[in-house]
Amino acid sequence: MHRASSLSWFDRLKQFLFGVDAARASGIDAAIIIFLMAFLFSSTLSIAAMNIAYGAAALLWVGRMVLRRKNELPRTPFDYYFLAFIAAEALATIFAHNTSQSLLYMYRRVTLLPVLYLVVASIRSPRLLRLLFGTFLTSLLFVALWSLRSIVIHFGDFIMFQRRLQDFQMYMTAGGMMMIGMLLLLPFTVHPHTPTKVRWLALASLVPIGINLLFTFTRSSWLGFLTGAVVIGAFRAKKLFLPLVITVVAVVMLASPEMRERMSSTFNPHHHNNISRLQMWTTGVRIFLDNPIVGVGDIGIEQVWPMYAPPDWKPAGHLHNNLIMWAVTLGSIGLVVLIALFVTIWIVVRQIEKRLHRDWFGGSVALGALAVLAGFHVNGLFEWNFGDAEIIIIVWTIVGFALAANNVITTNEHG
């Protein structure tokens, strides 16, 4: 008791962060974890705070390597694919219609990649994995609970589809984030070894996050969630399908006519929003056919839109489809590289999920990552979510969580 009370606040902080490894952790180690927690918590609240915290953690990580004169950059199965992606961006930039803008967008895409390595290098124990993973989910739950106030106050507007939930982020980003939160939580509810308290906490958290997802009215995120949920059911618990179907039917039955129209419009090719998407995709194909190798560069599509679209079509900054945008901006080279990258990520994370299948935490993290990947790509058939920095940096982070889970839980089992 006397010894505990004699610990300084910094020692107590290190004990909280690192547990039994606190004595071996330095001040820089603690600062990196604190900034990573700040990055994850602010990711749903403020893109400025998120970028500051991420930048601080990354700079400290590089500084630690310099001070220790040690390369702590972890090797991953994706290294050469990331290098190929950077090369494709550079090549597209050289021949871009607007070199300066392409260089800027390339910088933005490339500087998000190190977050995966930072997460893997920083998570050295199951304790840190749970702490950082839990920080992100806590942030999502906080935003969801806070946003319920807006839903209650303006319920009439929401139920009539006259308002969309976007308290902290644009509704498309908010929909993507809530989709990710749902898919990360769901595996914990169906894993047979999840502690009862954790299972009930996950179930309770799904309710406000699900309500938020619903009232963003982002159809692509709805489809992404359903796809990810099917992945979870197929790989973990087929019994999930029945409550999922019941929930979807109940939501449709209880929805207002305006909400049901929004839901049904997802599958209506004659709906004005869907017609607009088809027009964008058709224009994108025309652009790609004229620039098939390296694309037009990583630029806003409005710069080349007048050359390919009918004059009465409103210019679009992007084409609401990841595959078409990759083809248009980076050409065949970038398209093939990115498809190969994401196929490899899927294969690797699936292998991790199989390896950690019996571990309630690591297995759920890996399965959640698989579900998020599936949801992200289905969402990306209708949105340019690869170009949404707030979404893609979290996708890279979640892949990092899966790699870290494989490292620390496998090491813990054999150590």
pLDDT tier, 65 (very low <50, low <70, confident <90, very high otherwise): very high
Single-letter amino acid, residue 272: H
Q: What's the whole-number mean pLDDT along residues 88-114?
A: 96
Residue with the larger pLDDT of the pair 377 and 276: 377
Q: Please state the separation of Cα 281 from the chain's center in Å.
A: 24
Q: Higher model confidence: residue 191 or residue 266?
A: 191
Question: What per-residue confidence (pLDDT) applies to 415?
Answer: 42
In the structure encoding, which two tokens stand for residue 363, read together? Answer: 């297995």
Q: What mean pLDDT do residues 54-69 have? A: 95
Q: 129-150 pLDDT, tens per residue?
A: 999 999 999 999 999 999 999 9
Highest mean pLDDT among 155-164, 304-313, 316-325, 326-335: 326-335
Helix (H, G, I), strand (E, B) or coil at 268: coil
Measured distance CA(218)–CA(180) in Å, rounded: 13
pTM, whole model, 2 decimals? 0.94
Q: What does residue 123 show for φ and ψ, rounded to 5 degrees? A: -85, 105
Residue type, 378: V
pLDDT of residue 411: 57
Task: List the one residue out of 190, 219, 224, 189 whose CA is nearest residue 207.
Answer: 189
Whether the pLDDT of residue 1 is over 50: the answer is no
| pLDDT tens-digit readout, 371-410 | 999 999 999 999 999 999 999 999 999 999 999 999 998 6
CA separation for the pair 115, 119 (Å, rounded): 6
CB atoms within 10 A of CB 2: 5
pLDDT at 2: 46
Question: DSSP states of 10-27 as a string?
Answer: HHHHHHHHHGGGGGG--H
Interacting residues of 201 by C-beta distance below 8 A, sequence separation 6+ = none
pLDDT given at position 414: 47
DSSP assignment string, 382-411: TS-GGG-HHHHHHHHHHHHHHHHHHHHHHH
Over the chain, what is the mean pLDDT?
Answer: 92
